[in-house]
Chains A and B, each alone.
Chain A
Amino acid sequence: AQKITQTQPGMFVQEKEAVTLDCTYDTSDPSYGLFWYKQPSSGEMIFLIYQGSYDQQNATEGRYSLNFQKARKSANLVISASQLGDSAMYFCAMREGLSNFNKFYFGSGTKLNVKP
């Protein structure tokens, strides 16, 4: 089974509107971390936001927020007030367990296009 599933290969959003990128995960470990990364066309991977499995509140970082629904095992990224510079690939990732030695699992990504 896939550890991380991103079901939206591509998304379009109008500039200044909000957009939600979906991510579901699969783990039986009670301790895990969820991450979102942005990959612009230039290729670098940029860390956006983190959510821990024990965190009571949804994580927020500026225009990014993570809609964490633990029972549904979903960790959707919400980008508010989209900007043209938000056009990029977005990857959801999970680290199982609390050990520093655990590997990260990445989804296949969602390509977001922001239209002017």
Chain B
Amino acid sequence: DSGVTQTPKHLITATGQRVTLRCSPRSGDLSVYWYQQSLDQGLQFLIQYYNGEERAKGNILERFSAQQFPDLHSELNLSSLELGDSALYFCASRGGLASTDTQYFGPGTRLTVL
């Protein structure tokens, strides 16, 4: 158990809908990263937050947005969903400022868009 929690575990919805994925980082970790893993693909970095502020942005679509709250949990909002948004969405948290600090991943949310 990495200490990172994600809810829900599975989500099935229809095209055009909006969903919110939630992530709670490990206790004390200030950084949260979001990734998308589509079928047969590696991880695509979406966005990073550090202590409530956006710090790095990857291949995140304009239909997607995220935020990190004062209690450090984060939410990823996906709107106007398309079939191609079906994927496993991971949240990862990272603790300190040392270069050796790795990311610890949550169990993921599997999103299916029908």
Contacts and interface: CB of A to CB of B under 8 A. Distances in A.
A50 interface: yes
B24 interface: no
A47 interface: yes
B27 interface: no
Contact of A103 (B56, B105, B107, B108): B56
B45 A103 contact: yes
Interface residues of A, number: 25
Contacts of B48: 101, 103
Contact of B107 (A43, A47, A104, A107): A43
Interface of B: 2, 31, 33, 35, 41-43, 45, 48, 50, 55-56, 58, 88, 90, 92, 94, 96-97, 99-105, 107-108, 110
